């Protein structure tokens, strides 16, 4: 097994398009995914798993049914399994997600915004 350091700036520089999720590492059965985002996403949940959002650059808003979370660069949140949430990035935001392999971005909602491609960079 080859062990290497992962540099976030380097990995994000390899992403040319918004909303294209890329895997940068794996730990056991968990993927570390990064994405450049700028959109109002859909309401969804992940009934089988918690989901981690880490803001590497920019600001991220996550609406929950009972409140709104505001994350700045260097902050993270764990959304518990089954909790409906809706991410929003008004400006380009660089986010890392930590979730089990095979987890799709739209969770139980599905639809046109589903990105189930797993591309490593």
Q: In a 10 Å sphere around its CB, with 0-12 CB exposed, 13-18 middle and 19+ buried, how is residue 9 labelled?
A: exposed
What distance in Å separates the CA atoms of residue 60 and residue 5, rounded to the nearest whole number? 26
Is it the case that residue 121 has pLDDT exceeding 80?
A: yes
- Please identify which residue in the block is written with the tokens 């764990």: 78
pTM score of the predicted model: 0.93
Domains of the chain (ranges, CATH numbers): 17-103 (2.60.120.10)
How confident is the model over 25-74, as pLDDT tens digits? 999 999 999 999 999 999 999 999 999 999 999 999 999 999 999 999 99
What distance in Å separates the CA atoms of residue 69 and residue 86, rounded to the nearest whole number? 10
């Amino acid at each position: 097994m080859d062990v290497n350091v992962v540099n976030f700036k380097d990995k994000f520089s390899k992403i040319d398009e918004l909303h294209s999720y890329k895997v940068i590492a794996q730990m056991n059965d968990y993927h570390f995914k990064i994405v450049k985002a700028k959109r109002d996403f859909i309401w969804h949940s992940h009934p089988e798993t918690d989901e981690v959002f880490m803001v590497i650059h920019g600001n991220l808003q996550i609406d929950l049914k009972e409140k709104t979370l505001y994350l700045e660069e260097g902050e993270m949140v764990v959304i518990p399994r089954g909790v409906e949430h809706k991410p929003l990035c008004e400006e380009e935001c660089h986010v890392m997600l930590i979730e089990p392999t095979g987890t799709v971005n739209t969770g139980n909602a599905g639809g046109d915004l589903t990105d189930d491609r797993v591309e490593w960079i």
